[in-house]
Structure 1
Amino acid sequence: MRLLPMFARLCVVVIFIIWLLPVHAEQVPPEIPVVKPPQDAPSVVVVLLDDVGFGASSTFGGVIATPTLDALANEGLRYNHFHTTAICSPTRAALLTGRDAHVAGVGTVMNLANSYPGYQGILNPAAATVAEVLRQNGYSTAAFGKWHLTPSWESSPTGPFDRWPTGAGFDKFYGFLGGETDQFEPTLYEGTTPVHRPVGDNYHLSEDLAEQAVGWMRLQQSIAPDKPFFVYFSPGATHAPHQAPPAWIEKYRGAFDTGWDAFRKTVFARQKALGVVPANTILTSRPDLLPAWDSLSADERKVAARMMEVYAGFLAHTDAQIGKLVQSLKDSGRFDNTLFIYIVGDNGGSGEGGLQGGVNYMGALQGLPEPIETKLERLDAYGSADSYLNYPAAWAWASNTPFQWMKQIASHLGGTRNPMVVTWPKGIRDAGGLRSQFGHVNDIVPTILAAAKIAAPDTVNGVLQLAMDGNSLVSTFDSADAPEVHHTQYFEVIGNRAIYHDGWMASAFHGKMPWTVAMGSRSRAIEDDRWELYDLTKDFSQAHDLAASHPKKLKKMQARFNQEAARVGILPLRDASEERTPMPRLNAGRTLFTYYAGAVGIPESQAPPMMNRSWVLQATLTVEDIKPSGVVATVGGTTAGWSLYLDSDSRPIFEYRVFEVASVKIPANQILTDGSHQLRVVFNYDGPGYAKGGTLRLLVNGKEQGVANVPATPPAFFSIDETFDIGVDTGSPAGHYPAGSAIGYPLTGGVLEQVDVELR
């Protein structure tokens, strides 16, 4: 037994000696691998504006001041042959993946996604985003603003989240998921969590997004100053609703009193003087369906001019926010090695405000127009939080000077040609230069990767990648005479289509006007569309149709379009706006729904489908000692919607708003005290058919409190961005909540047991 202590002492000595011995190479623990970017790789900022015509900004001849864009153009390059897809989601898919929109899986706007290949609204994993590629090559990545690339059935708090920005390569996301949002009370997300906008009386979303982006860039500079970053800044401006701080709108008072026809001539002259259009460019004529300015009444002109003043203030204000990003980069010393890409619109100006424009345009878009009297009464509210403005379609056409048509019309340059400015002091020496090589949004990813000296990966996250459809534009950085690298490009949106090849373009307008989504409307058959032909090397604005004089050339171009359409898998062609194929829905086949407190951020399209039918909503809540107040259940927002809530006196109130058509408020006679209560709202629809009116009743504990009639209801939706919420109101308020209440007016002082919805 004496040997055991001796043996132990010997072991200790041996261990001590081993510890003193030099460590052999094979005993050195391996370093944890850290992905490093290529040496001297630039940071990258991509700015994408929304619904901006070629002739809107001062940088490209417009009368709306964009000094940030001007300054960047003077330090970098203007591109006047750059193209988008003519509508938002496809442009974003092509921009972020480097592939054609249909190849990326997003060939139409997310709201019109259908089950046919290329139109499903599901980002193709074989077309990874540039954010994911850069992230895997040592970049930090962040997205701020509009996303509009997540399928609606995946946009709720239940996920899945792999097609949200943070699942598509972005370390950071702060913004909104849908196609638009209220600028004063936005529907916001931080990562995948619904959040309220910061508290403050002078809030505006574009300012918030800029502050968030600047703060994030400064954080990168503080913690990892040698690490490049990628910022995707897409503020959603100037998509409707057109809303801006009053001072910015006032700068343009009276600026548009001469109307859109005179505006086109003014802008066209400025474009020629700046050299952003060739001297031989022809100003195209107004489409027959758009009214001449002189044909409007005095009241109509007053309304239309004011609507354009709001738009101008909105665009100028947005450009100023982008200036904050530029200044922050300069202050930190990172600007010289930052590739700054400023794309002025994801399509041309939007005609979705209708021929007359709308104070609350969502109603007019669905066939519920506003009388001129209403527009005049609301004139002082234009651009404020109490409006949801979109200008008349003719202003969209005017802002697209010198081209034909507008957003959605992928057949013509008014829909697809957008200005771009690229600045990179370390990589571009021709400051103030103009570039006229053909470019497309699918060229942006190859351009970024080439500038960063990163090869396009063969696989990403185990998925074999498709080849890029775009081409790098880096060769144009050095020379205005660099050979064109993008020789062929097809375009297609809701049947409107075109093909570009080596300077020629063939165009087929499908016939549906871009200012209506009226239920049941159908365009002509695809095969009945008439093709036009243009030589863009001599005809910058598509003014001279050569189809009759060059029939053989037109046939070759049509064959090339069919070849491209077959390549991306969209034959036979279909108008996506007319397809009603079954898509996944969280509410499919259900007529009974039960929700509990905390169910928030549910997209309206996935909430109980309450349009064009009768329904009953019942809420059960318990009050104990504390005086309750706040939202019980709500959907929609300022534009239209409803809210059941308790006011500051614990009185149940139900409000229902149908755009500018009607707004009703039913206050209860009863105040809620201690105990269990049932609040019940019954709606009896006047159908059958779309958008009929009906009768609303509010009951408390079985006793009727009030009745109200509405003459009409929305045929399709209250909004395209607001959500269905229980216990709080996210986004803009659907009710007139007590002054001074917290943002979202959350329910306090009561326990919300459940909310039941029955569809009848």
Structure 2
Amino acid sequence: MSTRPNVVVVLLDDVGFGAPATFGGPVETPVLDALAGEGLRYNHFHTTAICSPTRAALLTGRDAHAAGVGTVLNSANTNPGYEGVLRPETATVATVLKQAGYSTAAFGKWHLGPPWESSQVGPFDRWPTGQGFERFYGFLGGETDQYAPTLYEGTTPVPPPDREDYHLTEDLAEQAASWMHMQHAMTPDRPFFLYFAPGATHAPLQVPGPWSEKYRGRFGAGWDVVREETLARQKELGVVPPDTELTPRPDALPAWESLGPDERAVAERLMEVYAGFLEHTDVQIGKLVDALKDSDRFDDTLFVYVVGDNGSSAEGGPPGSVNYMGALQGIPEPAAGLVQRLDEIGGPDSYPQYPADWAWAMTAPFQWVKQVASHLGGTRNPMVLSYPARIADRGGLRSQFAHVNDIAPTILEIAGTTLPEQVHGVAQLPMDGTSLAYSWDDAAAAERHRTQYFEVYGHRSIYSDGWMASAYHGGLPWGVGRPGEERSFDEDVWELYHLDTDFSQARDVAAAEPEKLAELQQLFLHEAGRVGILPLHDARVRTALSRMPNLSAGRKSFTFHPGTVGVPESNAPRLVGRSWTMRARLRRTGEEPVRGVIASMGGRAAGLAFYLDDVGRAAFHLRTFDVATLSLQGEDPVGPGEHELEVDFRYDGGGWARGAEVVLCLDGAEIARGRIAVTPPVIFSIDETFDIGLSTGSPAGPYRSPNAFTGGRLERVDVELA
């Protein structure tokens, strides 16, 4: 057996400080409880407040902007530090460990590859297998359907296992546990590094029914009461000081008492599903722990469990949603009738996100949520660290300031290796994080990570020796797609908090401590200059000059052939907000009808499918979230021989999300026509793709993926954009 420890890093998605029971929350997390009992809880651990930057900081040990990923990939732009491209001078800890003799694997969410590099034409340098991981099984984007995910094995799109009870988190955990067993069986003397990043609990909130049923009725008192109860438990557990104050609800969020009965019923059910999703995820992580214990490797493994890459997500907006991709773009489903759909929520026919108030409640006792890097609700997350062979204080609490960029230096220290001066011939920037190993033997050890800046969407803050200065940059942390409004950074009001005596950031002392505030403001500017992000930019504000490369930019004509699959929607022909024509040339070669997908984009939440049904009739299906649907179909099956099928999409124009008339033709003759009142304004989905000859991910039409084209030959598909 290796004398060097194995390393397992778990990173959950969109979980606030006040959600897991291990830190006083209302959601049961038995595996996190057990690991905390065998290791240490950290109650001053911080992330960056948003997804991709946290992942970049965790894997590189550098500040996110220094690594080139200072904003979520969906908002990447040409401003320095915001390109969404991992820099070669900030090699990942996986690369360093691999060169030091470790086996490496990543399972789950990546979200660190530029969209224009995420198709099958590559390049694959910034895919997981190009960043030090020998094995990758997971998805590339920010989210995916838990029942029908967009999956990759290495760099190849693959379908999920074909079983009725499939759920992605379960699959990922089984794959990861199997990989660990294989390492132990075949190379017991070689240590391994496993990075496990499930999509949970990012929307869509999808979990098998029994997990959410368990929580029926637990949230009927509403978010205001649940938040108070959470703080009481946090104090009882000792994860917050006894004098911690509960910060007030933001003005933009409604009180529970202001909701009507139907609104409460929907909001309550959405929270029940979220709770079931989080507990289900935690239990799946138990499979990793079991695999280590079965192999007698648990005591010699550094197990890092980071509960959230940022605070809870308020991206469902105040009402929440059964299909939040529409709500995210300003097209929520009609409220009437939602109460009749409660039993759908969390199942495969839903794409839900809970209300923003629940997200806020799950960051108790702090202010704000995900995206808001100025306040602790966005940046402080639970973290548990276990290493029985090295940590004697089982069940201990550590309150030194810690940041996600501290994980990589901690790993390198316990692995007995250091960051090379060069990796692949590129001189390396030093790591910004600090190893946490110093804190293991002494709960009172002086903290070594003494200064840390934060910035997302212009929201910014700076921590230094127990103080934090914060500046909120306006806007609300929900909604996506449309260009933001410019706001001068000079308009922002700076607040000051003495966190040594004010755990929850509840008492603004800026007026009483102007000199300390000025000192921290200057320190923020120094740090921002150090990582190269001055002058400051709000990544929500997009201009033509700041746009990143795009494989379809400037093109109006495209020709595709079968085998074109997994093209990110953002880099495929843009089929929203305009007119277009799609023509397919195909041949029916025998007596059997031609069936299956010709072309599809998007998935179950919203998407379009050009296909042939089970009896061989030409068909077109378009779904605009839960707002509008259009299905067209020919009367007769396509006959033997060569044919041309065409979809003519005629957009109304005059603004966002307008309607369209759609004409379906066979060999130049119209066979169906219809109208849809609303079309997606910005995107069909975040993670679904454009595919020819089959559907990857969740089905974009009324069929089961992949629904591959059969019964003949699909020659080509031409797309013309108006």
Q: Say yes or no: does 1:650 pair with 2:612.
A: no
Aligned counterpart, 1:623? 588
1:205 Cα offset (Å): 0.1
Aligned counterpart, 1:725? 691
Aligned counterpart, 2:528? 565
Q: Is the 8 A contact 2:593 2:637 kept in 1?
A: no
Q: Say yes or no: does 1:483 pair with 2:434.
A: no
1:704-743 aligned within 5 A: 704-737=670-703, 743=705
Q: Say yes or no: does 1:574 pair with 2:540.
A: no
1:203-214 aligned within 5 A: 203-214=166-177
Q: TM-score, normalised by structure 2?
A: 0.99
Aligned counterpart, 2:716? 754
Distance 2:233 2:712 in 1: 62
What SS is found at the alignment partner of 1:101? coil
Query: What is the identity, as a one-letter code, of the residue corresponding to 2:583?
Result: Q
Q: Say yes or no: does 1:325 pair with 2:288.
A: yes
Aligned counterpart, 1:67? 30
Aligned counterpart, 1:686? 652
Aligned counterpart, 1:17? none
Q: Is the 8 A contact 1:237 1:314 kept in 2?
A: yes
What SS is found at the alignment partner of 1:725? strand
1:166-181 aligned within 5 A: 166-181=129-144
What SS is found at the alignment partner of 1:318? helix
Q: Provide closer, same or farther for how the CA distance between residues 710 and 601 of structure 1 changes in structure 2, counting only shifts above 3 A.
A: same
1:601 pairs with 566, 571, 589, which one? Answer: 566
Q: What are the superposed Cα offsets for residues 459-518 of structure 1, whole Å, 9 maximum, x if unpaired?
A: 111110001100000011111011101000000001000000000000000011001226
1:705 Cα offset (Å): 1.6
Aligned counterpart, 1:611? 576
Stretches of structure 1 lacking an aligned partner (at least 5 in a row): 1-36
Q: Say yes or no: does 1:148 pair with 2:150.
A: no
Distance 2:480 2:694 in 1: 31
Q: Is the 8 A contact 2:334 2:627 kept in 1?
A: no
Distance 2:337 2:124 in 1: 42
Q: Is the 8 A contact 1:61 1:271 kept in 2?
A: yes
2:190 pairs with 227, 230, 233, which one? Answer: 227
Q: Is the 8 A contact 1:510 1:523 kept in 2?
A: no
Q: Say yes or no: does 1:539 pair with 2:505.
A: no
Query: What is the identity, as a one-letter code, of the residue corresponding to 1:748?
Result: T
1:42-441 aligned within 5 A: 42-441=5-404
Stretches of structure 2 lacking an aligned partner (at least 5 in a row): none
Query: What is the identity, as a one-letter code, of the residue corresponding to 1:224?
Result: T
Distance 1:455 1:602 in 2: 38
Aligned counterpart, 1:676? 642
Distance 1:427 1:513 in 2: 44
Aligned counterpart, 1:590? 555
Query: What is the identity, as a one-letter code, of the residue corresponding to 2:479?
Result: T
Moved over 4 A (4+): none
Distance 2:88 2:26 in 1: 42
Query: What is the identity, as a one-letter code, of the residue corresponding to 1:540?
Result: F
What SS is found at the alignment partner of 1:317? helix
Q: What are the superposed Cα offsets for residues 664-693 of structure 1, whole Å, 9 maximum, x if unpaired?
A: 110111211211111111111111221111
1:710 Cα offset (Å): 1.2
Q: Say yes or no: does 1:444 pair with 2:407.
A: yes
Query: What is the identity, as a one-letter code, of the residue corresponding to 1:574?
Result: H
Distance 2:628 2:678 in 1: 8
Distance 2:8 2:72 in 1: 24
Q: Is the 8 A contact 1:367 1:518 kept in 2?
A: no
1:631-650 aligned within 5 A: 631-650=597-616
Q: Is the 8 A contact 2:484 2:542 kept in 1?
A: no
Query: What is the identity, as a one-letter code, of the residue corresponding to 2:555?
Result: R
1:43 Cα offset (Å): 0.2
What SS is found at the alignment partner of 1:618? strand
What SS is found at the alignment partner of 1:103? coil
1:520 Cα offset (Å): 4.0
Distance 1:374 1:46 in 2: 42
Aligned Cα RMSD in Å?
1.0
What SS is found at the alignment partner of 2:299? helix
Query: What is the identity, as a one-letter code, of the residue corresponding to 1:241?
Result: P
Identity %: 62
What SS is found at the alignment partner of 1:222? helix
Aligned counterpart, 1:34? none
Distance 1:709 1:647 in 2: 20
1:399 Cα offset (Å): 0.2
Q: TM-score, normalised by structure 1?
A: 0.94
Query: What is the identity, as a one-letter code, of the residue corresponding to 2:293?
Result: K
Bigger-Rg structure (1/2)? 1
Aligned counterpart, 1:27? none
